[in-house]
Structure 1
Amino acid sequence: MIDDARVHSVEEHLERVLDGIGSLDPIELTLLDAQGLLLAETIVSPVALPGFDNAAEDGYAVRSVDTRDATADAPAELPVVGDVVAGAKSRSGMGPGLAMRIMTGAPIPAGADAVIPLDETDGGVARVAVRRPTRSGENIRRAGEDLAAGEPAIGAGAALGPQQIALLASIGRDRVTVRPRPRVVVVSTGSELVEVGQRPAFGEVTDANSYLISAAARDSGADAYRVGIVPDDHSRLLDVLESQLLRADILITTGGVSMGAFDVVKQTLSEVGTVDFVKVAMQPGAPQGFGHLGNHVPIFCLPGNPMSALVAFEVFVRPAIRKLLGKRNIQRATVQAAALERIDSPAGVRQYRRGVLHREANGDYSVTFVGGSGSHLIASMASSNCLVVVDEAVTEVVVGSRVTVIPLLLSHR
């Protein structure tokens, strides 16, 4: 269905998009494959951490009562009756008035209640001189002091970073159930496009959009699959899209969504009856298509100019991917910055301009604009690090005025 009757606001179109995005079934992955994803289960620890009382330092296991009168001038002299190494398979024992050499992480011998660090002794082998009193429990890591057996280790919804993966490994979990990364399939359309590495003839253009959007999808946390170029051919486009339905959680096309006579994407998908094409009050990226194909697979039809495609991705597709990932914050964080240049903006349209965001010495932000407003300018897009948002009611940004800026920082899944 085509809906060109009115211009939609950015918020209206985004709401429709997010309403059309469901959820993905949790999957079980190995720990490293689960990195950056959200846990879909609460993990209860089957073991205590640490699993046994062990030494926090290299030194000597002693009874604190045997060192109570020790001083540097009159150290406590204790016979050394053995060594305890890390990885010892059985627990040693020692009687009153004795000591055992012990390594960091080694189990505390029965009868000992403290560890005196090596540098507070003479380092003796047969006998050791302890130069100060020890306290009961000193330099001993108690079993379960970090995590008791049967306690929740990590709750459902937690993001799995390196620290969380280390904890899961420590309690013996090598696989966990998580919210999966969405599988995003990217298709560039247009008979004028040629593959990267092929020298374009007159009138041809090297396909950059599929790389741009695939990279943006990966940066958003998805697994991206670049299908490549589909010419302006009705049946060919339908065949390619239908062939990708089984492996796609989101489909994205670029190009062919404007009002031109040869905009095949719009013509083809309008016949399917599940994709709406609208005009959004934004610049660049006004023509947008969104709907579903096959078994309710969301499809985004983005404009063909690179800057239009990038802005549309950031405003509409990235939040959809983050929603599928289960992220709480689906939008990029924004900052307020002082404009260092003057620009005009059309009334009633939300403009997104390329910019370079600067951090001033006082901690405030400022921003300069890169290139013009043309949506085809790839080099200036590559030299930018943010999008400057000019609201619909603003027709002029003067030097020094505050503007909303979306930093385009690389994300870590």
Structure 2
Amino acid sequence: MKTLDQIAAELQGYDPNALPADAVDEFLSRLVEPLTQTERVGLFDALDRVLAADLIAPLNVPPHDNSAMDGYAFAGSQLRAGQDLRLRVVGTAYAGAAWQGEVGPGQCVKIMTGAVMPAGLDTVVPVEFTRSEGETVTLPAGCVQPGDNRRLLGEDLMAGQPALLAGSRLGPAALGLIASLGLAEVAVWRRPKVAFFSTGDEILSLGQAPREGAVYDSNRYTLFGLLTRLGVEPIDLGSVKDDPASLEAAFRRAAAQADVVISSGGVSVGEADHTKAIMKQLGDVAFWRIAMRPGRPMAVGRLQQEGRSALLFGLPGNPVAVMVTFLAFVRPALLRLMGARQAQPLRVPALSQEAVRKKPGRTEFQRGIASRALDGSLQVRSTGSQGSGVLRSMAEANCLIRLDHEQGKVAIGDRVELLLFDGLI
């Protein structure tokens, strides 16, 4: 396991006092190592879990050629260009059981969606395309081509081939796919345990009476929501006063029971509190001033407690900065810890509906509202005030507008990149 100094030495131009956002991503990709413990869970418990090994299909899906719709099955070789085809119906094939019988030239079988294709038949004509006359049906010229409306054996999944790859995060479609293979449970990586708490003498817990100079703790609740949506096991350790004994006890308690510790508050440069000193005392920790807005101060490292190591993320205290740094850095790091193949969020291009003032030299994350223009293109506008304490702006937003480190001012109609909240928050 490399120390933080060793990781920093591998990064070109590493400067903890002016660290570009992209350098943070690179640093964390070297710091965070996936968990190694696995478990088997039932499908109802597998949503958002990460697959621990390639899932090999034990059978073909579908297990046989079958009809894609209600209609008439016949041999497509009988079709002739520009000519109607008249066929005699010799039986009906239902889903759930193979039809028994033979079909000769000039004959067809009425067939239901999902029914096994009778031997020798390869084409299905939908009922609505035909004209029925007693025991015969007529297919108008050109209504189908040979092979139409037939689902092939194994066209979805082929026995012996990977159905899902290790590191896949299991969404609703993946659960259905696994069930289609007849599997009731699946091997996944263990869920990380993430302990979190807020620090500061100005923090009030819910239920306490208001007092001058104090604010209610919102960060724990946003972090709880972010962590729960991600699929980790959150451990709420409450609010901690800014005194050495309380802080040390909180960090020790968190590191003893969790894989990751997240604190909010107390990491700004020049703050007269004890959080940074306790972090440094208990582990290998780096303190950064990131070239970004909001969320400039951040601490990262490892805490050592009772013979085990826990990742540490010390986030700023301002509510919006907590959410932005979590989405930009902590969430991808946790996904790597969970063994996910895709850790970084997708960036979606959009056109700015307004001019934005920005100087090159830092990455900015503005709260935005994305929508569709009349021509179908994606467009975005800000939520207004972008102060790092304006949590309402996050509640109103459906995305973050990411303005890159070297990017300058944005004009109306310029292209920007979005981190959409759907799936993140």
Q: Report the CA distance shift for 1:332/1:58 in structure 2 as closer, same or farther (over 3 A).
A: closer
Matched, 1:309 2:322: yes
- Structure 2: how far apart are the matches of 1:386 and 1:84? 51
CA displacement at 1:235 relative to structure 2: 3.1
For residue 278 of structure 1, the aligned residue among 288, 291, 298 is 288
For residue 138 of structure 2, the aligned residue among 131, 138, 146 is 131
Higher mean alpha-carbon deviation, 103-112 vs 240-249, is at 103-112
CA displacement at 1:252 relative to structure 2: 0.5
- Structure 1: how far apart are the matches of 2:217 and 2:240? 11
Q: Report the CA distance shift for 1:186/1:410 in structure 2 as closer, same or farther (over 3 A).
A: farther
Q: Is the 8 A contact 2:193 2:235 kept in 1?
A: yes
Q: Report the CA distance shift for 1:138/1:215 in structure 2 as closer, same or farther (over 3 A).
A: closer
CA displacement at 1:24 relative to structure 2: 1.6
- Structure 2: how far apart are the matches of 1:209 and 1:140? 55
- Structure 2: how far apart are the matches of 1:405 and 1:67? 52
Q: Is the 8 A contact 1:284 1:375 kept in 2?
A: yes
Amino acid paired to 1:184: V
CA displacement at 1:212 relative to structure 2: 2.0
For residue 292 of structure 1, the aligned residue among 294, 302, 306 is 302
- Structure 2: how far apart are the matches of 1:6 and 1:135? 66
Q: Report the CA distance shift for 1:163/1:14 in structure 2 as closer, same or farther (over 3 A).
A: closer
Residue 20 of structure 1 is matched in structure 2 by 31
CA displacement at 1:225 relative to structure 2: 3.7
- Structure 2: how far apart are the matches of 1:113 and 1:391? 55
Alignment of 1:6-405 (within 5 A): 7-10=17-20, 11-25=22-36, 26-58=38-70, 84-88=93-97, 92-94=100-102, 102-108=111-117, 120=130, 122=132, 128-132=135-139, 141-179=151-189, 181-220=191-230, 222-245=232-255, 247-259=257-269, 263-294=273-304, 295-325=308-338, 326-328=340-342, 330-333=344-347, 335=349, 337-338=351-352, 340-341=354-355, 343=357, 350-356=363-369, 361=374, 363=377, 365=379, 367-368=381-382, 370-371=384-385, 374-388=387-401, 397=409, 400=412, 404-405=416-417
Alignment of 1:398-413 (within 5 A): 400=412, 404-411=416-423
Q: Is the 8 A contact 1:187 1:226 kept in 2?
A: yes
Alignment deviations for residues 310-362 of structure 1 (CA, whole Å, 9 cap, x no partner): 232233213312333424351451646557346476x8655544455566556
CA displacement at 1:115 relative to structure 2: 6.3
Percentage of matched positions with identical amino acids? 32
CA displacement at 1:211 relative to structure 2: 1.5
Q: Is the 8 A contact 2:19 2:288 kept in 1?
A: no
Give the structure-1-normalised TM-score: 0.75
Q: Report the CA distance shift for 1:59/1:250 in structure 2 as closer, same or farther (over 3 A).
A: same
CA displacement at 1:402 relative to structure 2: 5.1
- Structure 2: how far apart are the matches of 1:389 and 1:139? 45
- Structure 1: 5+ residue runs without aligned partners? none
- Structure 2: 5+ residue runs without aligned partners? 6-14
Q: Report the CA distance shift for 1:247/1:172 in structure 2 as closer, same or farther (over 3 A).
A: farther
- Structure 2: how far apart are the matches of 1:403 and 1:118? 49
Aligned residues: 400
Give 1 or 2 for the bigger CA radius of gyration: 1
In structure 2, the residue corresponding to 1:131 is in which secondary structure? strand
In structure 2, the residue corresponding to 1:285 is in which secondary structure? coil
Alignment deviations for residues 232-264 of structure 1 (CA, whole Å, 9 cap, x no partner): 243333333333446533211001223566523
Q: Report the CA distance shift for 1:268/1:135 in structure 2 as closer, same or farther (over 3 A).
A: closer
Alignment deviations for residues 196-249 of structure 1 (CA, whole Å, 9 cap, x no partner): 354423333111011122333345554444332222243333333333446533
Q: Report the CA distance shift for 1:77/1:95 in structure 2 as closer, same or farther (over 3 A).
A: closer
Q: Is the 8 A contact 1:2 1:277 kept in 2?
A: no
